Amino acid sequence: MEIKKSFFKPNKLFDFSPHPYDIGNPFGFWHKYEDNHFLKKVYKVNEDDFDLFYKYHLSYSLNNDVCTEEVFFIKVWEIVNDRIKHLKAKDPYSSSHGRYVFWIEKLQQFQKYLNCIDQWNARPSHLVIAEKEEIIQKQKQEIEALQARWDNVKGYEVSQKIWIKQGYLPTVIDLFKQIEKLELPSGGNLLKYDHQVAYPRMISKYFAHAGNEILVETLRNYYVVKKDDIPVKGTSIHSEHKLFKIVPIKETKK
């Protein structure tokens, strides 16, 4: 009589130092209960090692022509699912109830892992459909949230940018740099900002240089780290472009 091949890598006969993922015992009288021995290993495996554990036995099945990858998945999923149902039907007032609860939770964790690797949608159709419906609902909510954000952003869009005359981009930047330094009569700066990129982004978004887009990176060359008021790198504004001077009506406090 031909012995049915095991789906899972068994403990070799009289091997008392097997691989920790091998199932069964060294005496070999357990093979018709391989599902029980497989699940006993699941209870002991850490959640982070589920993938290693699963693939260890999958490799054994594939290398020994026991089954295909899809059939192996279905076999494992059904064993786990049937055992969860069996344990849930146990008497909740049994002295072993605490152990049953632990096993159920462990199997549910492993089943969650299995659900994530079901590339064939091999689980019962109602579960796959319910899972996909949940994903669709989440995606709809994300789309609605993104649409709401976009609708809000559109209120700040402009149909036509403010044109800067050809060659006078540095002049406009010089004006913004003067605005940055304005102080109130009561003391303190009129405007404050935390990031050097704030003005480049604003100018790029709302201004055009002779009808052409102004890249943020081009503008950032004017907003670089300075040492003693001298740019360490980047682009300086030459004196011929400094055509205007913004001055306060009243003297600010010193």
Return d(Cα 3, Cα 216) in angstroms, integer: 73
Tens of pLDDT, residue by residue over 3-50, are 567 899 988 878 777 899 999 887 766 667 899 999 999 999 999 999
The residues near 222 (Cβ < 8 Å, ≥ 6 apart) are: 170, 173, 177, 200, 234, 235, 237
The percent of residues above 90 in pLDDT, for the chain, comes to 61
Q: What is the pLDDT of residue 156?
A: 77
- Per-residue pLDDT of 150-194, as tens digits, reads 888 877 787 889 999 999 999 999 999 999 889 888 888 898 877
Q: What is the pTM of this model?
A: 0.57
Kindly report the number of other CB atoms within 10 A of residue 204's CB atom.
19
**Nearest by Cα to 35 from 78, 96, 91:** 78
Top pLDDT among 226 and 132 is at: 132
